[in-house]
Copies of this chain bind each other. A is one copy, B any other.
């Protein structure tokens, strides 16, 4: 059987191979990108699902609009307004998780050979998704304040990319958050150069202390013309439940219309049952309470992971403590002659029954092999202490 040429652009993920080892008994995993299921508001989702199947079973079980279930679009409009962004219900479409928003962005915008700028490092599934549409990816360097805007501006001038993809808040894998000043500059650059900016924001609600800077979307009101170049992807996966597969995409009208058309031929529409349940849930005034618990729990886990890493690995590792989200991004320094290759380290760690993801696959090119990603979302404090101690032994 002869497959489509586009499949040559991506390879089987090294991470997939690693994940096969995660079933080992007794393993402590910092490898996943999953939220902690113990924190799901199961009662609220149960109530919501039962309510919509009781009150409105016909439309909930029937085919629905490709754009999304209207009551959910209305609730998401309110949700975004509470985050400081003005979006009409028909200014967004519901997607099957925000992964589908990425797919629709690729399908509607990227022709084979088009250049796309991403953070280095960035979300692995974005790299693969865009490459399937023929994107030539260019990595822009980041630091603790997110993408380096001077460098990004240079790259935009030089490559005239089809779009720039950013996770500005508590990035995956970087954990970094783009500063307010950089956010404003990026919007200005978008307008000046006529460049589409995609803001992927699945983690913005998971802050530990103060709320992060306003999203690019919320800030776009203060930079005239910037809304015309801005795409925003949101998701309920990290704040309510990934199993519902409910995300959304906000974009200029013309792009949204084309994304809707493409979605029609991708999956017709997102499940009405999960959309209706999510819409109902958002009317229950339970989300703030559920999120408060998630924030407090993750904050404590992040604090313990940071302290444990310092005590168990000392100067053999560097990292910036994240202010929210789910990830530590770290680098092996080689201090005291320790290992600097994170893939080698990962293999040794698995032998000690602790897992993490090496950082190299998160780079579109020129990978830094000394980097790694550690998730603190699913292991409790005791497991984090024990797991990091094992990392110390493995290194």
Q: List residues of A whose CB falls within 8 A of some B CB.
A: 1-7, 10, 12, 34-35, 37-38, 40, 42, 45-46, 49-50, 53-54, 57-64, 95-97, 99-100, 102-103, 107-111, 114, 125, 128-129, 132-133, 162, 196, 228-229, 237, 241-245, 252, 254-255, 258, 261-262, 264-274, 277
Contacts and interface: CB of A to CB of B under 8 A. Distances in A.
A37 B50 contact: no
Contacts of A46: 50, 53-54, 57
Identify the 6 closest CB pairs spanning chains A and B, nearest first: A243-B272, A129-B265, A61-B241, A96-B267, A37-B58, A61-B243
Contacts of A269: 245
14 contacts: A1-B196, A2-B162, A4-B111, A7-B258, A37-B59, A40-B62, A46-B50, A46-B54, A49-B53, A62-B242, A99-B265, A103-B267, A125-B264, A245-B268
A111 B6 contact: yes
Quick one: copies of this chain in the complex? 2
A263 to B, nearest CB: 10
Contact of A271 (B34, B107, B111, B271): B271
Given A50-B46, A261-B10, A271-B244, A4 B108 contact: yes
Given A1-B254, A37-B57, A271-B274, 16 more contacts: A1-B196, A2-B162, A5-B111, A45-B61, A46-B50, A46-B53, A49-B50, A61-B242, A96-B245, A97-B268, A241-B273, A242-B268, A244-B271, A245-B268, A245-B270, A267-B267
Contacts of A95: 267
A266 B50 contact: no
A174 to B, nearest CB: 20
A269 B270 CA distance: 12
Given A99-B267, A265-B103, A110 B4 contact: yes
Contacts of A54: 46
Contacts of A59: 37, 243
A12 B254 CA distance: 13
Nearest to A42: B57
A265 B61 contact: no
A271 B95 CA distance: 12
A274 B244 CA distance: 8
A277 B5 CA distance: 37
A227 B114 CA distance: 38
